[in-house]
């Protein structure tokens, strides 16, 4: 260190010190980018280390000047006691999958139909990394938060661990917006994975099955110093929230591919293996090129991803359920292996469905050891011609779900035995029946069957239903097996004393569980309906039923004809809902739930919505004065309206708050009716009064 700096008082912060700190940080960040992102180092390792030590010494002398984005902060902070959950500013959605050329071409046809075009559509094509999806939030160009994908709507805060990944910039470069959420994948290169496992083996510590598991395990360490010691990498593939001062949207490019180029210009690593192609033939050619290139890549991929390149077209296409309409993941053929089918067991689901399960001689396939696989139903077993004892081909469909493909008939042993479907439930002994119009056989034991009770309760207590935290599978097993819970309603009669009779259940744990049960006593009507486990009624249908009928009594009393008036409810769903509420034991469970203190919060409207709002499409933008956009969306749905995320010719109303951006401009250009919050509330109030 120079003599002029050494003479400075330790508590002071001369301009020369500040300038030197900033210069060192910028220099080190630049060389990290050259080394870890561009793979083109400009200085030697000893030169880099000397600069790093100089920065460390200067920060040690002036600790009050240490910044969160300093290169010295990458070494990791103190261990955390756990990760807390944070809601994503914008949901991290899943992608729909394709496995065949026909499915790819069908996707292209849907895109053309959705855009009402006959010319070829341009698609951005990228690799589908086999790692862990994360979201990085930058404010004023500085990294302030890192989240896992979680369930898509909220993820775990792993900021301290994210900071240790050297390819992730702690500070953006160039012309960046005030807020930028970068979406991408954390992964581990194969050579780094092999070196890590060799190191783990030498230290007699756990070795990892594959690079993805190693990356996921490293990223979720409670001690960031362990994460810092692991060779993790990052590639961006998209973005979430973007904000620019004085506007609701940042300077957006016109295409997805241009946006990725823009992210790269900010210093964010973006993989080079991407192209823009046109039409299904272009996508298929990219897929085939990457399939040939796959063995030479330094990291694992499990397919490619196609996205409509024009962002305007993406907005027009919108989303369906938990996935965008404008994107598709095209998976590579699954890895396959051969093993022996040792036996066929049976699982009983919450609706009584009997599923045959293959018990296999353990086999390593697709990066994991597989010991069992679903066989779906007896027709599927017959179609494949499987016999117990067969040598079979096993693959991980989509690199995820183990599947028995076919038997190898030439290797069939003499003592192979044919499959026989059960006639009695393996759990309760009740008769097994297969309805004439269904492929699945079912136990007739209903709530008498312990397996159905367990599965029904596990379904009901999940976050998307009653959201009872701490009630996992092992605890539900004990509650059912000890007779403490025979129906869902019994959960709300549990006491501290009864819970403390269970294994590994102390006073504090019992108290926490009872508190969680109490918090669940006022679910929304839609969550209550979903929790009941009515066949064919998922979250979206439960929400539509709640919004249309408004009250639990109205849903329970609705005829099939009335149910058919609900959005997206067809004859099968209507019949299932009516059949469920016609069953006396189901009526008893609902009455018991209400008697035991459960009070579903009924919809804002307790009457059938009227035409002023019914089936009209609303888009929300900007900040509303007295409620969040989510609250406004719930009120619109409760009145029978629909809420979309993008403006199109089909949009009826745009609800605009402060700092409304591009959606407002587009709505005005299309002649869409613009409402402020007061006008929206007047519209909903008029629907109620009518």
What amino acid positions are annotated as catalytic residues? 128
CA distance 547 to 593: 21
CA distance 215 to 196: 11
Q: State how beta strands 323-324 and 142-148 pair.
A: unpaired
Kindly list the distances between the CA atom of residue 15 and the CA atoms of 5, 19, 60, in Å, as whole numbers in the listed order: 10, 6, 17
Sequence-ordered alpha helix ranges (H) in 294-394: 311-317, 378-384
Cα R_g (the chain), whole angstroms: 29
What secondary structure does DSSP assign to 657-686, as a single string?
A: -BT--HHHHHHHHHTPEEE-HHHHHHHHHH
Query: 257: helix, coil or strand?
Result: helix
Kindly list the distances between the CA atom of residue 504 and the CA atoms of 189, 364, 475, 476, 484, in Å, as whole numbers in the listed order: 41, 35, 9, 13, 16
Listed in order, strand segments (DSSP E) in 176-322 are 179-187, 233-243, 275-278, 301-308, 319-320
Please check whether residue 134 is in contact with residue 148, taking contact to mean a CB–CB distance below 8 angstroms. Answer: yes
Listed in order, strand segments (DSSP E) in 227-353 are 233-243, 275-278, 301-308, 319-320, 323-324, 327-331, 336-348
Please check whether residue 184 is in contact with residue 238, taking contact to mean a CB–CB distance below 8 angstroms. Answer: yes
CA distance 230 to 217: 10
Kindly list the distances between the CA atom of residue 592 and the CA atoms of 149, 369, 489, 505, 556, in Å, as whole numbers in the listed order: 38, 45, 6, 26, 15
Listed in order, strand segments (DSSP E) in 448-594 are none
């Amino acid at each position: 260190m120079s003599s002029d700096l050494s003479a400075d008082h330790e508590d002071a912060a001369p301009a020369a010190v500040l300038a030197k700190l900033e210069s060192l940080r910028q220099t080190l960040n630049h060389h990290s980018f050259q080394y870890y992102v561009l793979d083109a180092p400009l200085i030697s390792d000893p030169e880099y280390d000397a600069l790093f030590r100089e920065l460390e010494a200067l920060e040690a002398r002036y600790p009050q000047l240490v910044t969160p984005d300093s290169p010295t902060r990458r070494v990791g902070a103190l261990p955390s006691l756990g990760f807390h959950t944070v809601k994503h500013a914008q949901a991290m959605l899943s992608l729909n999958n394709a496995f065949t050329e026909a499915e790819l071409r069908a996707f292209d046809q849907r895109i053309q139909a959705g855009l009402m075009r006959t010319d070829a559509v341009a698609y951005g094509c990228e690799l589908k990394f086999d790692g862990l999806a994360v979201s990085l939030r930058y404010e004023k160009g500085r990294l302030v938060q890192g989240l896992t994908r979680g369930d898509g709507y909220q993820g775990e805060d792993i900021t301290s661990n994210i900071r240790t990944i050297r390819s992730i910039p702690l500070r953006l470069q160039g012309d960046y917006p005030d807020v930028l959420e970068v979406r991408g994948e954390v992964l581990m290169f194969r050579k780094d994975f092999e070196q890590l496992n060799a190191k783990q083996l030498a230290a007699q510590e756990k070795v990892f099955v594959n690079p993805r598991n190693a990356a996921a395990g490293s990223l979720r360490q409670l001690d960031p110093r362990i994460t810092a010691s692991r060779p993790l990498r990052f590639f961006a593939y998209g973005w979430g929230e973007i904000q620019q001062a004085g506007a609701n949207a940042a300077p957006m490019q016109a295409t997805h591919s241009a946006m990725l180029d823009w992210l790269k210009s900010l210093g964010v690593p973006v993989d080079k293996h991407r192209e823009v192609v046109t039409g299904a033939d272009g996508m298929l050619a990219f897929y085939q090129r990457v399939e040939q290139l796959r063995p030479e890549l330094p990291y694992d991929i499990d397919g490619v991803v196609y996205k409509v390149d024009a962002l305007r077209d993406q907005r027009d296409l919108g989303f369906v359920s938990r996935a965008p309409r404008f994107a598709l993941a095209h998976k590579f053929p699954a890895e396959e292996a051969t093993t022996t089918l040792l036996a066929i067991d049976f699982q009983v689901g919450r609706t009584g469905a009997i599923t045959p399960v293959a018990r296999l001689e353990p086999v390593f396939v697709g990066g994991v050891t597989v010991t069992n696989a679903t066989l779906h139903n007896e027709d599927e077993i017959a179609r494949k011609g499987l016999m117990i004892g067969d040598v079979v081909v096993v693959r991980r469909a989509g690199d995820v779900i183990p599947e028995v493909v076919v038997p190898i008939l030439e290797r069939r042993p003499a003592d192979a035995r044919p499959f026989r479907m059960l006639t009695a439930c393996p759990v309760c002994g009740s008769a097994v029946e297969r309805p004439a119009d269904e492929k699945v056989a079912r136990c007739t034991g209903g709530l008498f069957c312990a397996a159905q009770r367990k599965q029904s309760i596990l379904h009901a207590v999940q976050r998307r239903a009653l959201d009872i935290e701490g009630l996992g599978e092992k605890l539900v097993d004990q509650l059912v097996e000890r007779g403490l819970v025979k129906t869902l309603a019994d959960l709300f009669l549990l006491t501290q004393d009864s819970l403390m009779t269970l294994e590994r259940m102390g006073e504090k744990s019992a108290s926490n569980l009872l508190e969680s049960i109490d918090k669940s006593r006022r679910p929304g009507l839609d969550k209550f309906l979903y929790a009941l486990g009515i066949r064919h009624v998922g979250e979206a249908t439960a929400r539509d039923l709640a919004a249309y009928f408004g009250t639990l009594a109205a849903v329970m009393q609705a005829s099939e004809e009335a149910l058919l008036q609900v959005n997206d409810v067809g004859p099968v769903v209507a019949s299932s809902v009516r059949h469920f509420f016609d069953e006396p034991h189901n009526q008893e469970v609902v009455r018991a739930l209400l008697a035991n203190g459960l009070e579903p919060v009924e919809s804002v409207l307790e009457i059938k919505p009227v035409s002023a709002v019914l089936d009209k499409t609303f888009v929300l933008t900007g900040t509303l004065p007295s409620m969040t956009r989510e609250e406004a969306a719930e009120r619109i749905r409760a009145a029978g309206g629909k809420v979309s995320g993008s403006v199109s010719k089909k949009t009826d109303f745009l609800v605009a708050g402060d700092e409304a951006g591009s959606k407002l401009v587009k709505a005005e250009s299309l002649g869409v009716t613009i409402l402020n919050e007061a006008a929206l509330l007047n519209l909903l109030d008029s629907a109620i009064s009518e």
